[in-house]
């Protein structure tokens, strides 16, 4: 099998010092590998450790014990932090906190400028990055004139302009309306499929998980469950115990099954449901 791009080995992390008798680490013994070109979604109840996990990928946090590797770079190696942050871009929940310049193109140029890239190359990268998120027409606009979804796409372009191998998105759609969410999700999927960028997508929205290659469910700083979306959503009862929803169709499938209808566990989409209820013969 290919080498993982990101590898967590026995990673534990605690914020501040733990007093004797307390065991409140934010991450406990996480072992996780993410491969190049993978789209991995991370689910979990509030406080389960998703953001703490995400911040370990680009060395914003360093494990209290264990090791995080990005390609061949150990995140605890101070000298490699910039190299790691070039390879792993982070996008956060609030787009307003991520846009700093007065025009969209200046904003997207900010990262490559900090990397000391020559200006002709920067212009090329900015154009390509804005094209990739379908925002080139807005290059001279002020970020403040944009919708939430457009701002998030500009924030993503800012990452892409540094040519990362991976982007980690920590609830990038949480503050967006349905249209903004759709724009951002289709942008992330396109970057993953067409540009081969590895994606680690943290979300509370079950429908944003269905198209992922793999889903990881966090609970109290541990990985409680992982697998393909179908495998994960076959565990409806366990997910509910972990205070998580399941996609609407999966919920309906379970109710129908309980009433005796022969519907498979882990039914994810409307068309799968229709095929089972009305099989054409
Ligand atoms: N800066 C901090 N200092 C101390 N404890 C923290 C800090 N940030 C998070 N924690 C604690 O670490 C645990 C994991 O938090 P984390 O933010 O990673 O969870 P999360 O899954 O991202 O939650 P949410 O869904 O609310 O974003 C929680 O118990 C939280 O209270
Ligand atoms: Mg969080």
Nearest ligand to the CA of 27 is 1
Query: Which residues surround ligand 1 with Cβ inside 6 Å?
Result: 15-16, 26, 44, 46-52
**What is the tally of structural domains in the chain?**
2
Q: Residue 24 has what pLDDT? A: 75
Average per-residue pLDDT for the chain: 92
Question: In the sheet where 27-35 sits, what is the strand order?
Answer: 27-35, 4-13, 65-70, 73-74
Asked if residue 258 and residue 120 are part of one domain, the reply reads no
Asked if residue 149 and residue 121 are part of one domain, the reply reads yes
Q: What's the rounded Cα separation, in Å, for the pair 222 and 234?
A: 20
Asked if residue 195 and residue 281 are part of one domain, the reply reads no
Say whether pLDDT at 1 is over 70: no
- State the DSSP H helix or E strand holding residue 67, giving kind and residue range, or none if neither: strand 65-70
Confidence of residue 18 (pLDDT cuts 50, 70, 90): low
Q: Residue 16 has what pLDDT? A: 81
Asked if residue 155 and residue 185 are part of one domain, the reply reads yes
Q: Comparing 9-13, 212-216, 269-273, which segment has the lowest mean pLDDT?
A: 269-273
175 contact partners, CB below 8 Å, separation of at least 6: 93, 94, 95, 148
- Does this model's pTM top 0.85? yes
Classify 32 as helix, strand or coil: strand
Asked if residue 208 and residue 102 are part of one domain, the reply reads yes
- Residues near ion ligand 2 (Cβ under 5 Å): 50-51
Nearest to 104 by CA among 132, 126, 86: 126
Asked if residue 189 and residue 238 are part of one domain, the reply reads yes
88 contact partners, CB below 8 Å, separation of at least 6: 6, 57, 58, 70, 164, 165, 166, 167, 168
CB 75 within 8 A of CB 62: yes
Q: What's the rounded Cα separation, in Å, for the pair 190 and 231?
A: 24
Say whether pLDDT at 4 is over 90: yes
The arithmetic mean of pLDDT across residues 204-217, rounded, is: 94
CATH number, domain with residue 26: 3.40.50.300
Asked if residue 177 and residue 264 are part of one domain, the reply reads no
Q: Which residue range is the domain that position 277 belongs to?
A: 247-281
Asked if residue 252 and residue 188 are part of one domain, the reply reads no
Asked if residue 260 and residue 151 are part of one domain, the reply reads no
CB 138 within 8 A of CB 106: no
Asked if residue 169 and residue 269 are part of one domain, the reply reads no
Nearest to 215 by CA among 238, 194, 190: 238
Say whether pLDDT at 52 is over 60: yes
Say whether pLDDT at 23 is over 90: no
Task: Identify the residue whose C-alpha is closest to ligand 1 atom 4.
Answer: 15
Say whether pLDDT at 93 is over 80: yes
Say whether pLDDT at 100 is over 90: no
């Amino acid at each position: 099998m290919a080498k993982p791009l990101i590898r967590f080995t026995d990673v534990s992390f605690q914020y501040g010092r733990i007093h004797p008798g307390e065991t409140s680490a934010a991450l406990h013994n996480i072992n996780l590998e993410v491969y190049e070109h993978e789209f991995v979604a991370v689910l979990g109840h509030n406080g389960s450790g998703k953001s703490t996990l995400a911040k370990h990928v680009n060395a914003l946090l360093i494990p209290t014990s264990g090791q995080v590797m990005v390609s061949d770079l150990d995140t605890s190696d101070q000298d490699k932090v910039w190299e790691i942050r070039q390879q792993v871009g982070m996008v956060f929940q609030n787009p307003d906190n991520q846009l700093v310049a007065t025009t969209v193109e200046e904003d997207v140029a900010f990262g490559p400028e900090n990397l000391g890239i020559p200006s002709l190359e920067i212009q090329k990268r900015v154009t390509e990055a804005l094209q990739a998120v379908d925002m080139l027409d807005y290059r001279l606009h002020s970020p403040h004139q944009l919708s939430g979804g457009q701002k998030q796409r500009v924030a993503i372009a800012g990452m892409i302009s540094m040519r990362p191998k991976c982007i980690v998105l920590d609830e990038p759609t949480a503050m967006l309306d349905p249209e903004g969410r759709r724009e951002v999700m289709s942008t992330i999927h396109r970057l993953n499929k067409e540009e081969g960028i590895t994606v680690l997508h943290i979300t509370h929205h079950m429908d944003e998980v269905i198209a992922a290659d793999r889903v990881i469910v966090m609970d109290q700083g541990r990985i409680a469950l992982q697998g393909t979306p179908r495998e994960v959503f076959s565990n409806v009862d366990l997910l509910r115990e972990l205070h998580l929803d399941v996609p609407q169709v999966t919920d309906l499938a379970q109710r129908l099954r309980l009433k005796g209808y022969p519907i498979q566990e882990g039914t994810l989409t409307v068309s799968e449901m229709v095929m089972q209820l009305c099989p054409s013969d």
